[in-house]
Chain A
Amino acid sequence: MMSALETHVSELLATKAEARKLSFYYGDFRALKNITMPVHERKVTALIGPSGCGKSTFLRCFNRMHDLYPGNRYEGEIILQPDNANLLARDVDPIEVRMRIGMVFQKPNPFPKSVFENVAYGLRVRGESSRRRIEEKVEQALQDAALWEEVKNRLHQPAYNLSGGQQQRLCIARALATDPELLLFDEPTSALDPIATASIEELMHDLKERVTILIVTHNMQQAARVSDFTAYMYLGDLIEFGITDELFIKPKMKQTEDYITGRFG
């Protein structure tokens, strides 16, 4: 049942993507069970839930990361807008999907290249060859990731020389360089200190003017701070999905309440 506010909000919002009866299997193990959930356009949606509940599994479905391993199997659909097409369909090229959907991982994972080349990488892979356009894009992405001022004089130094928080913003810049429509974050700040975390959270806030964000976090306060919508998952099931403020003040399901109030386990 939706509250009046939720009904009102969902009528106003466009949907960027939607999982429909999505199940996922690692071989025989069913890690996601029949999940139906929208991802609203230009909003931040947080996935929370205890370890092993399937948050990362769910996130990875969106960029078809699971395709890299044999034995993995999807059921159901993820409809991507505006195409209104199922991105899990066999005839959809996963590379094509990943061009439109960027991902940032828990630990910053820059390539062993320069700052510049890290960001330029995705552009080159996508066949961009104009040096001028690449330079423009790299600068823009670094600006958007709020990193430009800190690295503009060391673009050609190794990315490993950057601090953890800077490396993470570099990975975000790398993801942004190819103009993704949807950005996936899997615990992007769990390896960062509070200041670096705050700057990434701030960045997410700015980014959502342009991109849709789906983020996994173990930090409930982070979910409450950065997201517009929150989904609570448990053992592969979606237990509750709702407006973040409502979910954290008055969740509908007792299970959600127990989890967010620390009564779990």
Chain B
Amino acid sequence: MAMTEHASKQYDLDLGSIRSRVLAMGGLVESQIRRAIDALTTGNLVLTQEVIEADHRVNAMEVELDGDCSQLIVRRQPAAGDLRMIFAIMKTVTDLERIGDEAQKIARMAKNIHERGGAQAPPVVEVRHAAEAAISMLRRTLDCFARLDCDGAAEVIRDDAGIDTEFRSILRQLITYMMEDPRTISTALEIVWIAKAIERIGDHAKNMAEYVIYIVKGTDVRHTKVAP
């Protein structure tokens, strides 16, 4: 992967600025998930509202980055490594925006649960645990993106299976609760949605890790069984 400078300094500046804003968007999205989960565990309704309202910032970053990527394509006609980079950035930005939506969804569910007075809420320890794993995947993916680290990305891809397993175990647990005490059904269902959102976040992080490998190696590892 060529990391030397372009003959055009402006090209380097534009590309560098796009890359650092992807990382900034990733940071914002990560804090959105974190705060949504905090709101779920603490019942802080102000926090849920903040997360819901901050989603438009994530959306705005997506629109702006897409615009800048199109402009760079038109102006520079990127090729080879640069082309793969831009292509991967555009896809990464889509995944980040979707993660933002999932965070907002978690905040909405947390709000519903606690407005109802989360008394009969089943324990959310496992949910918190799965969320930590998803956040870690996201953070490591962004780190791999910044450093163009394929090995790290391959590890993230492998870790996604862990979150999927965790999701199924949460689901089984919640079903047990619902059968034992039907009063927990509405809250339990909301927690199912939250767990599903977390699982989706893991999937998006995995996608992003696959793009890192594409940038570096030029191989498309999506939909392959074995992680590289």
Question: A-side interface residues toward B, CB under 8 Å?
Answer: 220-221, 224, 248-251, 254, 256-258, 260-265
Contacts and interface: CB of A to CB of B under 8 A. Distances in A.
Contact of B8 (A248, A258, A262): A262
Nearest to B5: A263
Q: What DSSP secondary structure best describes chain B's contact surface?
A: loop
Contacts of A221: 77
A67 to B, nearest CB: 37
Interface residues of B, number: 17
A183 to B, nearest CB: 26
A261 B81 CA distance: 8
B94 to A, nearest CB: 20
A248 B79 contact: yes
A224 B78 CA distance: 12
Contacts of B79: 220, 224, 248-249, 260-261
A261 B2 contact: yes
B11 interface: yes
Contacts of B4: 258, 263
Given A248-B83, A261-B79, 15 more contacts: A220-B79, A221-B77, A224-B79, A248-B80, A249-B218, A254-B2, A257-B80, A258-B4, A261-B6, A261-B78, A262-B8, A263-B2, A263-B5, A263-B7, A265-B7
A262 B80 contact: no
A93 B30 CA distance: 73
Contacts of B5: 263
Interface of B: 2, 4-8, 11, 76-84, 218
A99 B218 CA distance: 44
Contacts of A249: 79-80, 83-84, 218
Contacts of B84: 249-250
Listed from nearest, the 3 A-B pairs whose CB atoms lie closest are A250-B218, A260-B79, A257-B80
B85 to A, nearest CB: 10
Nearest to A250: B218
17 contacts: A220-B77, A248-B79, A248-B83, A249-B83, A249-B84, A249-B218, A250-B84, A256-B80, A257-B80, A258-B2, A261-B2, A261-B79, A261-B82, A262-B7, A262-B76, A263-B7, A264-B7
A265 B179 CA distance: 71
